[in-house]
Amino acid sequence: RLIRRQRQMCIRDSPRNKVPVKVRLKNLVPINMSNVHVEVESRLIKEEKLVELNSLQELTEYFVVSFNPLEKPKKDMVTAIVTYPSKNKTYVWKSEAKSFEIIGYSSQVKSRDIVKSFLKRQLYIKVFNKGNIKKSGQIKEEASYFHYLFTSTTPQAQILETDGKRYFVWDFKLEPYATYTAVIVKNYRPFIFVILALTIIVIAYYTLRSPLVVTKSVASIKKHEGGISSLKIKLHLKNRSKYTLE
């Protein structure tokens, strides 16, 4: 064997981290070698470089491997391959495959944004799954009994009552790097509009109604031979305005 090599790397790691790969080379013959091709490869890794190796020299080459942060948990085997093209022959040395594992991770990033306008308040609650595995969770937000009458939610929240309090509750499942958004809207506009409409109706009624109220009643009835021969009707006139009517 002309070259002895060893490869070391982290056995288990998160895809968010850069993984160091170390390849140790040793020239066992008294000749200088140029254009020595060093490669580390697996299903997820493929890194390579050219190095110079002097007579009987020991050399350590470092690779820093990056993964996609969304790479799902899986196991893989990595191998170091060294190729040296001499004048008469190309020599290839391959190390034993070493196992490593991409592990799962997940962290929830929660944010709250409030948008206010006239008689309206919108609360946006967002949960971001910063991870490479699915994540389940729950959003729980207190809902006062008074404001509940003027509140709507998107998506429709479940109602939970505990310890004398009421809560909006959303259960969710998130794919990697996905976001769940719950919206709580407190809108007092319809209530105010109804009050204004009733006020306008009352004002219009008292403004447009007739100022004169006329009622009638029967004052007396005269009968003759079993029938009504005459009757007296009394009219009652009432001025319900503050003005004199002519």
pLDDT digits (tens, 9 = 90+) for 21-60: 889 998 888 989 999 999 999 999 999 999 999 999 999 9
Tokens 């006139």, residue? 237
Dihedral (Cα; 53, 56, 62, 63), 10-degree rounding: 50
Residue 9 in this model has a pLDDT that exceeds 50:
no
Give 197's contacts (C-beta < 8 A, 6+ positions apart): none
With bands split at pLDDT 50, 70 and 90, how would you rate the model's confidence at 175? very high
Q: Please give the pLDDT value at position 5.
A: 44
For residue range 61-108, list pLDDT tens digits in order.
Answer: 999 999 999 999 999 999 999 999 988 899 999 988 888 899 999 999
Banded pLDDT at 239 (limits 50, 70, 90): confident
The alpha-helical segments, DSSP class H, found in 47-149 are 145-148
- pLDDT value, residue 227: 67
Q: What's the DSSP call for residue 178?
A: -
Cα–Cα nearest to 217, from 198, 236, 230: 236
Work out the mean pLDDT of the chain and round it to a whole number.
87
Out of 63-67, 125-129, 210-214, which region has the weakest mean confidence (pLDDT)? 210-214
pLDDT, position 228:
65
Strands, E assignment, the chain: 3-8, 12-13, 19-27, 33-41, 46-53, 58-65, 74-85, 90-94, 98-102, 106-117, 120-131, 135-142, 151-154, 158-162, 165-174, 179-187, 212-224, 227-239
> Which segments of the chain does DSSP mark as H helices, in order?
145-148, 189-208
| Selected residue with higher pLDDT from 97 and 243 | 97
Q: Which residue has the higher pLDDT, 4 or 103?
A: 103
Q: Find the mean pLDDT for residues 170-189.
A: 95
